[in-house]
Structure 1
Amino acid sequence: MHIRIRQALVKGLLMVLTGLALSSCETVQTTQAGVVGVDRKQMMAVSSEQIDQASRQTYAKLVAQERGKGTLDRDPAQVNRVRAIANRLIAQSGAFRPEARNWQWEVNVITAPEVNAWCMPGGKIAVYTGLIEKIQPTDDELAAVIGHEIAHALREHARERASEQAMAGTGISILAAVAGLGDIGQKGMEYAYMGLLGLPNSRRHETEADRIGVELAARAGYDPRAAITLWQKMGQAGGGAPIKFLSTHPSREDRVADLTVYAQRVMPLYEQSRRR
């Protein structure tokens, strides 16, 4: 009987938590679908103002740190190249989100060995010299990288992840305490959350960014098929791939297959942009 009571309590609390989470959320359409058809609605429990403010503060602090170390925008040729490509992509952001053209975009190059690039919410971009020097991307391939990162910002994936974590963290803590699961039980629930919801959502975000990225590149006059060669280069540089089931990124095989389809879908945009 005690077990049944606890099970009923857990089930009821889950229903209550779900209701509270849904009532505190808003359903938003962050971007237009574009030719690639990314039209999933997103549940947000954290405001865009909160995320954007945190992004501005974090980016300003990081830029100041890198400037102090002498690792910010050290090579003018690299900086000019990255900014020229980024500006062409930014000019096309209105195809997915018209107000994004008015964001306070910033683009900087950081001297560091990591093969990395990112775009914070609100359009704060950084490209690492490790990516440029180790991958040796063409302009089309570099556009694929930056377009992918811009897509994360347009889709507000960081805000969506923060919303999921806020809701899950509150729900897991309350449920574990009421059900008497203890620290071990709570940790198990956290891992279950990551396996069932957290990681698949991250893979979904990556796929959305890939698809939007190739359309941004095509509209900006960069060959969208370069995204395929880019990830092939990334695979060669990265060595062994992580286990697919536990990875927050799609496998290289899945990613290349998906990009092949969507790069072909936006080829008319690329051909049109070249004729302008």
Structure 2
Amino acid sequence: MKLNHYALLFSSLLTVTLTGNAQSNAQQEGVKVGEMSIMRKLAPTGALEGQAATQYAQTMRAAEQKNALGQANHPQVIRLRAIADKLIPHALKWNERAKQWKWEVNLIGSKQVNAYCMPGGKIAFYSGILDTLKLTDDEVAMVMGHEIAHALREHGAERAGKAVAANIGVKLVELWAGAKGYDPNLAGGLAGGAAKFGMLAFSREDETEADIVGLDIAARAGYDPRAGVALWQKMGIVSKGAPPQWLSTHPAGKTRIAEIQRHFPEVMPLYARAKGVSISALPPYQTNVKGIAPVVYSAK
């Protein structure tokens, strides 16, 4: 009975996941992505947002105690919040819950090359990512749009749900192995390894989706999507020695650049409209680091 129970539950989870991911949204312009994974339902979003708000507040208090929290009049804080104010209105359509979020944007003084947006719209940038990459406003918008997209698409809840499903799968294998007279620990270990690599792939898919949705949000807000190419060229310069793509939760830089370029036809018209010009009138995107060529796009 126990084996059949796990098998039925795992089969149901797999079926609804494939069905949910096969659906497409009804957007008429901009990027197209599938519906959010049904797996996020296994981890209550409201609970995650509450936990995120608590953790975020604790992080900000800790930074303040170390005199590392950017004050409201800090130039970079003003800059980050101004960019967020332009992005957020274009983010709301991606998730109805976002209209009720209490958005926050803060800067933490640290050498970390990092930024994030927690469930519920809690955004943090580390000064290291601004300073190390010498980010332009367009490039900040690419990073911020990407991080906001993670929250909008509820990737945290999705990953938690997939972890639950993976654990059920491992348990099924252990029960099956025991029933057949095999070593359940060995079988479970092999299944766990396979599940781990599967979770890496899921994470890479989430990162790609966040790149795409972030491009759409930033373009509508008047930020140049071509800055995404320059951003990942900069990131490649500072992240040499990163693990190969198949062992990483993030796609390789070249893969991300190719994916961003693939979606130019969808987002460049949005950017041109936001700027009030035709695509042909847009100058190439030129970043502020020597050695990175201007990024061009010509509509066909």
The equivalent of 1:262 in structure 2 is 263
**Cα 1:92/1:30, change in 2 over 3 Å:** farther
SS at match of 1:273: helix
Q: Distance in 2 between matches of 1:61 and 1:24?
A: 36
SS at match of 2:38: strand
The equivalent of 1:42 in structure 2 is 37
Deviations for 1:15-55, whole angstroms, at most 9, x for unmatched residues? 33424646998959897656110124412311111211211
The equivalent of 1:140 in structure 2 is 138
Q: Distance in 1 between matches of 2:256 and 2:115?
A: 18
Structure 2 counterparts to residues 38-187 of structure 1, below 5 A: 38-44=33-39, 45-74=42-71, 76-173=74-171, 175-177=173-175, 179-180=177-178, 181-187=183-189
Question: Is the 8 Å Cα contact of residues 152 and 158 (structure 1) preserved in structure 2?
Answer: yes
Question: Is the 8 Å Cα contact of residues 157 and 205 (structure 1) preserved in structure 2?
Answer: yes
Q: Distance in 1 between matches of 2:60 and 2:24?
A: 27
Question: Is the 8 Å Cα contact of residues 14 and 175 (structure 1) preserved in structure 2?
Answer: no
Give structure 2 stretches of 5+ with no counterpart.
Answer: 278-300
Give the fraction of aligned pairs with identical amino acids, expressed as a percent: 39
Moved over 2 A (4+): 12-17, 19-34, 94-99, 177-188
The equivalent of 1:200 in structure 2 is 201
Amino acid at match of 1:147: G
Question: Is the 8 Å Cα contact of residues 173 and 187 (structure 2) preserved in structure 1?
Answer: no
Q: Distance in 2 between matches of 1:157 and 1:131?
A: 22
Question: Is the 8 Å Cα contact of residues 116 and 123 (structure 2) preserved in structure 1?
Answer: yes
**Cα 1:32/1:120, change in 2 over 3 Å:** farther
Question: Is the 8 Å Cα contact of residues 25 and 32 (structure 2) preserved in structure 1?
Answer: no
Q: Distance in 2 between matches of 1:136 and 1:219?
A: 23
Give structure 1 stretches of 5+ with no counterpart.
Answer: 1-8
Deviations for 1:168-220, whole angstroms, at most 9, x for unmatched residues? 2244235425533344432321111122x211111110111111111111100
Amino acid at match of 1:143: A
Question: Is the 8 Å Cα contact of residues 220 and 270 (structure 2) preserved in structure 1?
Answer: yes
Q: CA RMSD in A?
A: 2.7
Greater mean deviation of Cα atoms: 213-222 or 182-191: 182-191
Question: Is the 8 Å Cα contact of residues 174 and 187 (structure 2) preserved in structure 1?
Answer: yes
The equivalent of 1:18 in structure 2 is 10
SS at match of 1:122: coil
Question: Is the 8 Å Cα contact of residues 221 and 274 (structure 1) preserved in structure 2?
Answer: yes
Q: Distance in 2 between matches of 1:101 and 1:41?
A: 17
Greater mean deviation of Cα atoms: 110-119 or 260-269: 260-269
